[in-house]
């Protein structure tokens, strides 16, 4: 989605002001990768009389009103998500192992978080993540993530590792940055169990220990060939 006045993705200005060292870069999504998202969203949905239809990996078209079984509209899903992030009592549990893995990997790679949400949530996301031991810059993006990752890639010589739970984000980055290592990470065990593996994903996982080892392997191989 573009800024109406400049035609630029709002993530670009944030990306351009980032200090990057040009070395290996880990670009990590937040919701359902580092913080649990589906479970607290379901709790909010239950309070509003809504439920998932099944564990297909989508929001619009997969949420209904429990009483009537009527599909929630796009506008209702939009309001649900904005209400979720606006809730002052929102609590999202950290995904086990994420903080430790990223801390260890950050010794050899730069880590940034790339999350899709309106820019007004950016400072709050950084604060919440830092409180869970994830103190990396947060870039807020809207729409496909490929353009943002492509802009980052222009300034990186080393490997680029991209983690996300959303198939559309993974596909967008896979197609925009051919050399990026794409990791499909889905913390929720039910949605993980039924997820379709995204074509081109180098790893599909719901375990940060496994993901840590996989990324470390990419970084070690890079270091060995320098
Ligand atoms: Mg996500």
Q: Please give the distance, rounded to the nearest whole angstrom, from the Cα atom of residue 210 to the centre of ligand 1.
A: 19
Q: Give the pLDDT of residue 204.
A: 98
pLDDT(4) > 90: no
Q: Please give the distance, rounded to the nearest whole angstrom, from the Cα atom of residue 33 to the centre of ligand 1.
A: 6
Average pLDDT, the chain: 93
pLDDT(3) > 50: no
Count structural domains, the chain: 2
Q: Please give the distance, rounded to the nearest whole angstrom, from the Cα atom of residue 154 to the centre of ligand 1.
A: 24
Residue 193 and residue 166 share a domain: yes
CA distance 151 to 165: 21
CA distance 205 to 208: 8
Residue 193 and residue 179 share a domain: yes
Query: Could you tell me if residue 4 is inside a domain?
Result: no
Q: Give the pLDDT of residue 216.
A: 98
0.85 cut: is pTM over it? Answer: yes
For the segment 26-74, what is each residue's pLDDT rounded down to a tens digit? 999 999 999 999 999 999 999 999 999 998 877 788 999 999 999 999 9
CA distance 131 to 88: 15
Q: Please give the distance, rounded to the nearest whole angstrom, from the Cα atom of residue 31 to the centre of ligand 1.
A: 4
User: Maximum Cα–Cα distance for the chain, whole Å?
Assistant: 61
Q: Where are the beta strands (DSSP E) in 54-202?
A: 63-65, 110-116, 138-141, 160-164, 181-185
115 phi and psi angles, rounded to 5 deg: -130, 145
pLDDT band per the 50, 70, 90 thresholds, residue 7 = low
The four Cα atoms 95, 97, 101, 103 give a dihedral, to 10 degrees, of 80
Residue 130 and residue 61 share a domain: no
Domain that holds residue 105: 10-36+93-224
Q: Please give the distance, rounded to the nearest whole angstrom, from the Cα atom of residue 179 to the centre of ligand 1.
A: 21
Q: Which of 54, 86, 118 is the last residue of a domain?
A: 86
For the segment 66-117, what is each residue's pLDDT rounded down to a tens digit? 999 999 999 999 999 999 999 988 999 999 999 999 999 999 999 999 999 9
Q: Give the pLDDT of residue 176.
A: 98
Cα separation values, 104 from 96, 97, 133, 158, 175, Å:
14, 11, 12, 18, 29
Q: Please give the distance, rounded to the nearest whole angstrom, from the Cα atom of residue 89 to the centre of ligand 1.
A: 20
Q: Say which CATH number the domain at 219 has.
A: 3.40.50.1000
Query: Could you tell me if residue 196 is inside a domain?
Result: yes
Can you tell me which residue has the tokens 């496994």? 210
Q: Give the pLDDT of residue 55.
A: 86
184 phi and psi angles, rounded to 5 deg: -95, 110
């Amino acid at each position: 989605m573009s800024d109406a006045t400049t035609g630029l993705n709002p993530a670009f200005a944030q990306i351009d002001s980032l200090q990057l060292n040009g070395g290996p870069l880990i670009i990590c999504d937040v919701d359902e990768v580092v913080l649990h998202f589906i479970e607290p969203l379901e709790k909010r949905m239950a309070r509003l009389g809504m439920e998932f239809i099944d564990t297909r990996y989508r929001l619009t078209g997969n949420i209904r009103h429990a009483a009537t079984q009527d599909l929630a509209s796009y506008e209702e899903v939009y309001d649900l998500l904005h209400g979720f992030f606006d809730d002052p009592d929102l609590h999202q549990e950290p995904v086990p192992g994420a903080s430790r893995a990223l801390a260890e990997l950050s010794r050899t790679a730069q880590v940034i978080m790339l999350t899709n949400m309106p820019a007004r949530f950016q400072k709050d996301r950084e604060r919440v993540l830092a409180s869970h031991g994830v103190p990396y810059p947060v870039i807020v993006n809207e729409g496909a993530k490929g353009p943002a990752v492509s802009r980052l890639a222009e300034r990186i010589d080393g490997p680029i590792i991209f983690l996300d739970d959303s198939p559309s984000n993974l596909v967008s980055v896979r197609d925009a940055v051919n050399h990026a290592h794409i990791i499909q990470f889905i913390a929720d065990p039910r949605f993980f169990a039924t997820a379709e593996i995204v074509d081109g994903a180098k790893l599909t996982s719901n375990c940060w220990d496994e993901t840590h080892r996989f990324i470390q392997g990419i970084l070690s191989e890079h270091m060995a060939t320098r």
